[in-house]
Amino acid sequence: MRILVVEDEPLVADAITAALKRQGWAVDVARDVVEARWLAGEVDFDSLVVDVNLPGGNGIDFCRELREEGDMTPLLILTSRSDVSSRVLGLDSGADDYLPKPFNSAELCARLRALWRRPRAALKPTISVGDLVVDPGSRSITREGVRIPMAAREFAFLHLLARNAGATVTRHEIFDALWDFAAEPDANTLDVLVRSVRVKLDRPFATNLLLTVRGVGYMLDAAGSAAGTGEPVGGSADRAADPAAPGRDQGGSTDEDGSADESRSARAG
């Protein structure tokens, strides 16, 4: 999940960012409305947390503008105004929820999860891919009825692929969804994440659901492939995570599908 926090008070923004990142979510921060408008136009965020009183405008107008432009990204208003008229104004402007300051970070995270559970075209309350069930509300992963413990970023990775089940999610799309602009994951970061998820998700079962589309990215496929064959989409062998495997460039780092990871700046561009 990638979230935009629009907050001009550094201490508050830092506290929100820390709380959200503990959930494994990527967080970008805008300090004013101008920066928020630019980021919202550049990145497909999963949700927005927006203060009301901001330099260069206010959160209510920002929310109203997004809705008028057809942007229906889940948006939570966060403000020190707690009177009924302010809450009504915020919700009528198009906000999905309203949380007054001071607030508890656990409640903020719970409210965001509740927004994501609301039926939307891109995000179902629970997602099933074959015998795999992903529940963003409880942050649980089960397969054949067995609960599989996942770290926060592992869950975020699987949730992203489950939302796009049957379709390839590119490495660029994964980096953009799981890491914010401030993060600088190295070329091996995604490879390590994928291997960790595979050990938990596929190794104990008869079929592999997490498949590599060589040179492109990854996908979850309900049909899967036979365990131990490493057979991905397209029928070609899934490259093992072996640094000496044929096709690997010994002078640089590559993904386990043999494709070199591009720089962070290239992804941002």
Task: List the CATH code of the domain at 2-117.
Answer: 3.40.50.2300
Over residues 74-103, the pLDDT tens digits come to 999 988 776 777 778 878 888 899 898 888
Cis geometry, peptide bond prior to residue 102 (ω within 30 degrees of 0): yes
Q: Residue 229 above 50 pLDDT?
A: no
What residue ranges do the domains of the chain occupy?
2-117, 127-268
Give the pLDDT of residue 121: 42
- Separation between Cα atoms, residue 24 and residue 236, nearest integer Å: 33
pLDDT at 256 over 60: no
- Would you state the pLDDT for residue 142? 93
Tens of pLDDT, residue by residue over 154-179, are 998 999 999 899 999 999 889 888 88
Per DSSP bridges, beta strands 75-79 and 47-51 are parallel
Is domain 127-268 in CATH 1.10.10.10, yes or no? yes
Beta bridge partners of 44: none
What one-letter code names the amino acid at 169? V
| 69 pLDDT tier (thresholds 50, 70, 90) | confident
pLDDT at 267 over 70: no
Q: What is the DSSP letter of 70?
A: T
The pLDDT value recorded for residue 187 is 63
pLDDT digits (tens, 9 = 90+) for 106-162: 999 999 988 887 755 444 457 889 999 998 766 789 999 999 999 988 998 999 999
- The per-residue pLDDT for 126 is 75
Contact 225, 232 (CB under 8 A): yes
Residue with more model confidence, 269 or 206: 206
Contact criterion met (CB below 8 Å) for 63 and 94: yes
Q: Average pLDDT for residues 65-77, to the nearest whole number?
A: 88
